[in-house]
Amino acid sequence: MSTIKKVIEVLASSEKSFEDALQRALTEASTTVKGIQSIYIKNQSCRVRDNKIVEYRITAKISFEVMHKWVPGHTTATNEAIGSGMPDYSGVEVKTHPDEPLEVKPGGSATTPASGGGYSG
């Protein structure tokens, strides 16, 4: 079974090095993204002051596997962990009627010139 990957782009910086900026990006992203599998450096640059590098900056792409069903404590989607792979919508409430009746006002038409529509004479 093939897997679906998602890619996000992040920006990070460090006063120490590009490697430190990269690790900061990965550490921060991993607080909300689970199952990170790779990180690719798209761009790197430095901020300079008085002819010295004062900040290392990176733009990175982080890829991770899309999980179809959240499993607490699990970081990688596998067939055993996600069951059939189908999303579980059992807890979703589906409304088939509006909460309140809509008020219908007589008159007006989308096809009459007086209402701003239709054919003009």
Interatomic CA distance for residues 2 and 11, integer angstroms: 29
CATH code for the domain in which residue 35 is found: 3.30.1660.10
40 within domain boundaries: yes
CB 29 within 8 A of CB 8: yes
The answer to whether position 28 is within a domain reads yes
**pLDDT tens readout for residues 61-108:** 999 988 766 566 655 544 344 444 555 656 666 666 566 665 666 665
Name the domain count of the chain.
1
Average pLDDT of every residue of the chain: 76
**What global pTM score does this model have?**
0.52
In a domain, 46, yes or no: yes
Instruction: Report residue 3's pLDDT band, with 50, 70 and 90 as the boundaries.
Output: confident
91 in a structural domain: no
